[in-house]
Structure 1
């Protein structure tokens, strides 16, 4: 591939290997990732089949675990699924697949009731579920747990249930380097962990549930594990990726020197919190009649504009007019974090600014979770299912992971049952490349990439800056992608570079503003771009 005259390598595998010298493991279904999508997929596999879950971290390492706000589903008799469909389509900016939207939303209540039957304890008011409202929703329909710790509760329930399944094994702290393909099909993956090094896992069917790529940005709500590994390995394996220009920025991320960039859930705004600037001015109604309850792309853009107007690095969430005891009970996690930095929600404003949060684009999947590579399925943030379009409606992400996790698990299970129990070690090999003399400062490249993405691919974008950024990325790719590393730090960097340059290329091509993709040089949406998608697929040439 040549971009701007720079020859860019496309490595097939990240590390050298000879199958005769590496341990082999055989399973019916391999699941990469132990977030909500991966765990739900495992529970959908027929108990007659063996399942292996390989996850980069433990159960607390996924974005699902860190999810605060909740899960969107129509459970109130006064609400209607069509309202949820309409809200999702409106937020999606004309790029949602309406059939997918309807399918997921109408299935949603059943998935919530299933979680409750398995032991999930969602917050209640008396004998009824406590349903919250977030930006873009026309009704209260967000189920939540322990105030602002919904992800922890859901993962707790699913992880414990998976552990009870005799046909499921979990390998934690295991990095998946690459998918193994032969004759156009996915045959499993190569993994690594510090205990036994590299292992070739041969599988009848493989499911990707690796999450997103928020760590590409300097300002992000994502955990350290979100480095786009699943998207990159799917791309190297020949799968189609699409919608990569659409990274959603959460409007309210805690902005305190020395603090991690903790997400401040927009459920706070749903409960009445106000956004004010450094002067105490409530500014959101200057930008949108919905005020603080406008969709995330609108609020993020408004915050950036107000920061520029005031020359201040952040804005503030103001809860001082709300009942302090009620707020502490509703948001115990955020209350505790703020207290560590001497902030009292009853009297202090919380400094916030946008941060990279959720990727709408990813591996293309159909209604069942099937990718364009036979034998490979995917669920959750690693995918582009068509549900979110150009901008995700709040709390639709956990819903999507539940629905598509189940579908991918069922589909992979069905096809694995039809395949014979005959495993053949295929003659795949990746010879070692000449070792370079000069070591790379991986931390420096990673930090440079994250800063570059924040400047050029942030909330507001300009074509010239993106093209300059792409030139820098291509230079880094020209020498970093050909290296063969022996540790996750190097493999993560290669995955981040692979996805970052595709994201920038997609954003350059989409010469309009739509959803969370906002270009100062093309500030309006174009009707002829409404149903157009930008796709990428690796060519062997």
Structure 2
């Protein structure tokens, strides 16, 4: 049993700001939700850094859509389900993929500069495990940046939303009935309470839990942790996706090397300059991400090298610079030309398939709480996300979350004021925790190591540092999410998708029909984290 505090900080707020809805997080899911809500409600968007500081902004590859010749919704759905290794919720896959063309048309109308051919048609890229070319992109490998910036500009000039940047949401607040009533936050070092009957969590993922990651510093799992503390259920938290090609050539400044490069024909080489992926999967470099990442990890282990290589030297002259300008410039900054020598790459934490459990309308197990984008999980991705499915999911669920808020038209009582937790020191610093997570709940897992890790985590999950700094509050959230990932990974006694256990290396048909869920049970001023299972096409609150 792991215990956590109900609140990670008290509040001395003298002001209580009232809104109809609050959106936490400014990735594309949060921005589109805010845009929708601001037409009919008083809505606040709160983000802990700048509006563009999100995983969305750094997405390179593009967004999948079945628009090309020889493609269909059924083929895209089939690819998604195969990549998800048996755990995708098919109704979620169908819903996201059917609504994606409408979202693309809206982005076009906003002015997102998608890459088009001379006849005005989308230039479609190829990525791993997609049967055909179906990846729409913008600015070559700047798709996330182009979409995010266009939407943020539209939000600033075309909506009535109140925007709070560099503001940290600490906890979700509830009324006497246990329903959502607002949030507590820290803005310019001052405690603030927001009253609102509707809260949408769109805080993105948790890649910063790991020492090696493609994610920006803001991705610390805050939304997942605060939702659990409020009583919401989390699911599929054992499924963390590790991207196979992250470049760590510049210390402290890792950068993603988009999968689209392999889709255009680049090969992975080991330390002996041998192409190795055909030995691991029939689709070689275009195998699912979990397989490619573990293959890279294994080749690194066999050779003792800190990386493998992505051979980008065989493209036609000028192609790489035009198609992948972001990666090209980052390589030059690191001191080498990717058209002249291969890129050193290794796996890094990239995406959380699990998250706050939602139905297909983004509602959670708590009335008034909604989740969308990477922070939420409707089961679409299963055990392993198909490349470039994250942007469609974020945009569709952001829209659906706003729709649900408007439909529910909730009211709430006054929020409870958060009380102070117990203060003390954690057993790990931030950097130590990230390294321990990489070693114990990374690409390859084993019961003995995870149990030992969890035992030490138990010493620090109930306590938070006395200084309510951004770093200390993030660390408290990181402890909570780390505990959930570890407990969920221990619970699933098989290997499936991104979850690989050396002590249970085979898939198990029984586990193929189940999801692992995490709940927190109130015990006085503390919560006890519990794990359980439910049918993969059901929900924890109805099991």
TM interval, short-chain normalised:
over 0.9
Which one of 9, 19, 41 corresponds to residue 15 of structure 1? Answer: 9
Residue 178 of structure 2: aligned partner? 184
**Aligned mates of 1:263, 1:229 — CA distance in 2:** 22
Map 1:130-149 to 2 at 5 A: 130-149=123-142
Maintained 8 Å contact 2:221/2:481: yes
1:324 shift after superposition: 3.4
1:319 shift after superposition: 1.3
Deviation digits for residues 434-489 of structure 1 (CA, Å, limit 9, x no counterpart): 766xxx489x61111101100011111111111111112112225x34x4432111
Maintained 8 Å contact 1:432/1:484: no
**Aligned mates of 1:473, 1:245 — CA distance in 2:** 16
Residue 528 of structure 2: aligned partner? none
1:328 shift after superposition: 0.8
**Aligned mates of 1:216, 1:190 — CA distance in 2:** 23
Maintained 8 Å contact 1:241/1:364: yes
Is 1:405 the equivalent of 2:398?
yes
Residue 94 of structure 1: aligned partner? 86
Is 1:69 the equivalent of 2:57?
no
Maintained 8 Å contact 2:86/2:383: yes
Q: Tell me the SS of whatever aligns to 1:60.
A: coil
**Aligned mates of 2:112, 2:84 — CA distance in 1:** 29
Structure 2: runs of 5 or more not aligned: 524-543
Residue 354 of structure 2: aligned partner? 361
* Residue 434 to residue 224, structure 1, CA distance change in 2 (3 Å): closer
Is 1:429 the equivalent of 2:425?
no
**Aligned mates of 1:178, 1:165 — CA distance in 2:** 29
Deviation digits for residues 344-387 of structure 1 (CA, Å, limit 9, x no counterpart): 11211110000000000110001111111000111000011111
Which one of 41, 46, 63 corresponds to residue 33 of structure 2? Answer: 41
* Residue 300 to residue 166, structure 1, CA distance change in 2 (3 Å): closer
* Residue 270 to residue 165, structure 1, CA distance change in 2 (3 Å): same
**Aligned mates of 1:310, 1:433 — CA distance in 2:** 48
Q: Tell me the SS of whatever aligns to 2:113.
A: coil
**Aligned mates of 2:80, 2:422 — CA distance in 1:** 51
Residue 123 of structure 1: aligned partner? 115
Residue 524 of structure 1: aligned partner? 506
Which one of 496, 499, 502 corresponds to residue 481 of structure 2? Answer: 499
Residue 391 of structure 1: aligned partner? 384
Residue 534 of structure 1: aligned partner? 516
**Aligned mates of 1:356, 1:435 — CA distance in 2:** 30
Is 1:111 the equivalent of 2:103?
yes
* Residue 434 to residue 219, structure 1, CA distance change in 2 (3 Å): closer
**Aligned mates of 1:72, 1:433 — CA distance in 2:** 44
Maintained 8 Å contact 2:21/2:197: yes
1:425 shift after superposition: 3.8
**Aligned mates of 1:307, 1:424 — CA distance in 2:** 56
Which one of 435, 444, 450 corresponds to residue 466 of structure 1? Answer: 450
Is 1:31 the equivalent of 2:23?
yes
**Aligned mates of 1:424, 1:435 — CA distance in 2:** 30
Maintained 8 Å contact 1:176/1:190: yes
1:343 shift after superposition: 1.1
Q: CA RMSD in A?
A: 1.6
**Aligned mates of 1:145, 1:469 — CA distance in 2:** 42
Q: Tell me the SS of whatever aligns to 1:56.
A: coil
Maintained 8 Å contact 1:134/1:267: yes
Which one of 288, 292, 300 corresponds to residue 293 of structure 2? Answer: 300
Q: Tell me the SS of whatever aligns to 1:180.
A: strand
Maintained 8 Å contact 1:48/1:167: no
TM-score by structure 2 length?
0.93
**Aligned mates of 1:448, 1:491 — CA distance in 2:** 16
Q: Tell me the SS of whatever aligns to 2:313.
A: coil
Map 1:229-378 to 2 at 5 A: 229-378=222-371
* Residue 46 to residue 447, structure 1, CA distance change in 2 (3 Å): closer
May I ask how many residue pairs the two structures share in their alignment?
521
Maintained 8 Å contact 1:277/1:307: yes
**Aligned mates of 1:489, 1:88 — CA distance in 2:** 37
